[in-house]
Every structure is written in C-alpha cells, then in structure tokens.
Structure 1
Amino acid sequence: MDFSGLKNLRVLHLEENQISVIERGAFQDLKQLERL
C-alpha cells in the first residue's frame, strides 16, 4: 500500500484487515499521523 500524497492523514485504522507485513518506513512521510 502506498501512502504518498496523504500528508494530512492524522488517524489510520488498521483493524480487521489482511496486512501481514508492514515495511520499515511505510509511514515515514505521514508527518501529521497522530494515531495508528
């Protein structure tokens, strides 16, 4: 999944998904992210 372009994203809900691996740095560009 690519989060580029979502620079104002503040909350990301990941419950009930099929993600098995999150790559290192996947969220590094989400400077406004407050809650994961």
Structure 2
Amino acid sequence: MRVAIVGAGLAGLAAAVELADAGHQVDLYEGRSFV
C-alpha cells in the first residue's frame, strides 16, 4: 500500500518508520525545508 504522511514532526516520522517497516511505500511531506 502507498501511504502519504503530511507533517514530519515526531509523530509523522514515527508513523513513517512503522509503516515502512511493515512493508508499505511511504511518501512524507513537510512544509518547511528542514526536519
């Protein structure tokens, strides 16, 4: 499954790691130019 996460704060990054570890394709979007 392809998943989009908006916001690269602590919760967004943790969710991205968990989903990627579960085999999902993760797209992470952040409004700022740094995390």
Superposition TM-score, scaled by structure 1 size:
0.25
Larger Cα-atom Rg: 1
Whose relative contact order is higher, 1 or 2, with alpha carbons under 8 Å and at least 6 apart?
Answer: 1
Query: Structure 1 or 2: larger strand share?
Result: 2
